[in-house]
Amino acid sequence: MKIPLSYSWRSLWTRRLTTTMTLAGLALVVFVFAAVLMLAHGIEVALIDTGSDDNAIVIRRSSTSELVSQIERDAANIITTLPQIARGADGKPQASTETYVLINLEKKETGDMGNISVRGISPGAMQLRPQVRLTEGRMFRFGTDEIIIGQNIARRFQGCEIGQTIRFGESDWVIVGHFAAQGSAFESEIWGDVEQFMPSFGRPVFSSVTVRLRNPEEFTRFKASVEQDPRTQMGDVKREREYYREQSALMSSFVRILGLLVTFIFSIGAVIGAVITMYAAVANRTVEIGTLRALGFRRRSVLGAFLVESTLLSLIGGSVGIGLAALMSFVRISTTNFGSFSELGFGFALSPSIITASFVFAVTMGLIGGFFPAVRAARLNILTALREA
C-alpha cells in the first residue's frame, strides 16, 4: 500500500508559506494559459457563431473574404434562383445579395479612427440570420437612407446613437436602430439596403451571396450547380460556418501561438519554483524518508508520495488559475480582426476542453517540478537519511 495521501497533503500544509508562494506561481501561469485559450476560443466563437450550418455563402474564387470579393449582378441573380435554396412564406428564395465595405469612424474613448464593416443586405437577410434582433429603435426601411448599427459598434464609436446621422460613401445615413446578434461578428457591423449602398460606394457588383439551403445536405449539389455553370463558376461556395471559421483562423491562431509561447516561458519559472519547493521538502524531511524506508515502505512508495505532493500542489494552483481565468468571461474586447481588417467584438470563452487542457498543463508542470526531487527522495540511503536526525 502507498504512503497515505494525508501525509502528502498535511506536509504541504505544514509549509504554508512556501506552498502558498509556489501555488501563486502555478496559479498565475495556469491563469495566463487558460486566458489565452479562452481569448482564442472567444474569437472563434464570435466568428464561427456568425455563420449558420443551414446557410451557404458564395464569394469570388480566390478571394480570402467578402472584402475582396466581387459577384456580378447577373451571376447573383442566377445563384439566388437555384432550386436547392429554401423558399420563404412568400415563395421567394431565402437569399441575400450583399455588399461589404469598410469605413472609418472615431472611437469614443481614444478619438482614434477604427475600421468598421458596412454590410448592404437584401430583404431576405433577416430570415437567414435569426440570431439578429433589434435592441433599440426599429429596422431600417429598404429603399431609404436608413441604417441599423450593431451594439458593439454603437457602444464604442462616436455618433452612433439612434437619430444621429453618419456620413460615408458620399451620403448621409440616418441611424434608426441598434441590434444584437448573440455576440457574433454581426454585432460589429453597420447594416443598410444593399441597393442604396452600392451606388453610394460606386460599386456595381455585390461582394457575396448568402442563401439558406432547403436542408444542409443539399450543400454539395448547390456547390456543384454554382461551380459547374459557366455563368457562375467564378463563385466559390462555402458553408457559412466554415467561411467564418476561416475568417477567425488567422487571428485566433496568432493569439494562441503568441499566448502559448509567453505561457511556456512563464511555465519554466513556475516549474523552477515547484522544483525548489519540492527539493526543500525533501531536504527538510530526510529523516522522515529514512524512517518510512526503515519501516518497509519501498522506494517507489516514497517516489509516489512526493509526486502526489507536487501533483496536489499543481491541482490546487491549477484550480485557482482556472477560477481566476473564469472571471475573465465577464470581460469583452473589441479590436481589429486581422482577417477582415475591421472591428470585431469578442469575449473570453471558457469551454470544457480549456478546463481539461489547463488541468493537464498544471499537472504536467507539477510532475516535472516534482519528479527530480521525488527521485532524489526515493534514492536516499536509509542509513544516511536516518543519520540526519
> Cell 509516489 identifies what position?
304
Task: Show the site string, 353-372: x = touches other proteins by CB under 8 A, - = not.
Answer: --------------------
Smallest gap, in angstroms, from Cβ of residue 27 to other proteins? 23
Instruction: Map residue 285 onto helix, strand or coil.
Output: coil
Q: Tell me if 386 contacts other proteins by CB under 8 A.
A: yes
The yes or no reply on residue 17 touching other proteins (CB under 8 A) is no
Do residues 246 and 337 make contact, with C-beta atoms less than 8 angstroms apart? no
Give the one residue of 14, 144, 215, 353 binding other proteins; rule: CB under 8 A.
14
| Spatial CA neighbour of 373 closest among 277, 240, 263 | 277
Q: Stretches 1-9, 105-113, 183-191, 240-248: which one binds other proteins (CB under 8 A)?
A: 1-9
Is position 1 an interface residue for other proteins (rule: CB under 8 A)? yes
Q: Which of 99, 53, 49 is nearest to 72 (CA)?
A: 99
Residue entry with cell 481566476: 324
DSSP 260-319: HHHHHHHHHHHHHHHHHHHHHHHHHTHHHHHHHHHHT--HHHHHHHHHHHHHHHHHHHHH
> According to the binding rule CB under 8 A, does residue 389 interact with other proteins?
yes
Question: Can residue 298 be called a binding residue for other proteins (CB under 8 A)?
Answer: yes
Q: Which is nearer to other proteins, 93 or 290 (CB)?
A: 290
| Binding flag, residue 283, other proteins (CB under 8 A) | no
Least Å distance between CB 20 and other proteins?
17
Q: Kindly state whether residue 193 participates in binding other proteins, applying the rule CB under 8 A.
A: no
* Chosen residue from 60, 223, 293, 376 binding other proteins by CB under 8 A: 293
Smallest distance from the beta carbon of 4 to other proteins, in angstroms? 7
Interacting residue with other proteins among 5, 265, 287, 331 (CB under 8 A): 287
**What is the Cα–Cα distance from 98 to 208, expressed in whole angstroms?**
5
- Identify the burial level of 43 via C-beta atoms within 10 angstroms of its C-beta, where 0-12 means exposed, 13-18 middle and 19 or more buried: buried
> Which residues, numbered 222-281, are part of the site for other proteins (CB under 8 A)?
none
| 105 burial type by CB count under 10 A (0-12 exposed, 13-18 middle, 19+ buried) | buried
If binding is defined by CB under 8 A, does position 88 make contact with other proteins? Answer: no
Q: How far is CA 383 from the centre of its chain?
A: 56
3-state SS assignment for residue 231: coil
Least gap, CB of 291 to other proteins (angstroms) = 4
Cα–Cα nearest to 30, from 306, 251, 260, 255: 260
- 121 strand-pairing partners: 193
Q: Which residues pair with 249 in a beta bridge?
A: none
Other Cβ atoms less than 10 A from the Cβ of 68: the count is: 12
- Determine the interface stretch with other proteins among 46-54, 290-298, 330-338, 358-366 (rule: CB under 8 A): 290-298
Say whether 43 sits in a helix, a strand or coil: helix
> What is the nearest approach in angstroms of other proteins to the Cβ of residue 30?
26
How many positions of this chain bind other proteins (CB under 8 A)? Answer: 26
**CB-based contacts of 311: which residues, under 8 Å, 6+ apart?**
363, 366, 367, 370
Residue 2 or 221 having the CB closest to other proteins = 2
Pattern 299-318, binding to other proteins, x per CB under 8 A? x-------------------
CA 158 to chain centre: 27
Give the Cα separation of 256 and 250 in Å (integer).
Answer: 10
Task: Please choose, out of 53-61, 165-173, 262-270, 296-304, the segment that lies near other proteins by the rule CB under 8 A.
Answer: 296-304
Q: How far is the CB of 273 from other proteins (least distance, A)?
A: 22
Strand pairing of 95-106 and 235-239? unpaired
The interface region with other proteins, picked from 82-90, 131-139, 145-153, 291-299 by CB under 8 A, is: 291-299
**Distance from the first to the final alpha carbon of the chain:** 26
- Residue 11 engages other proteins in binding (rule: CB under 8 A): yes
Assess 292 for contact with other proteins (CB under 8 A).
Answer: yes
Site residues (vs other proteins, CB under 8 A):
1-4, 6-7, 10-11, 13-14, 287-288, 290-299, 382-383, 386, 389
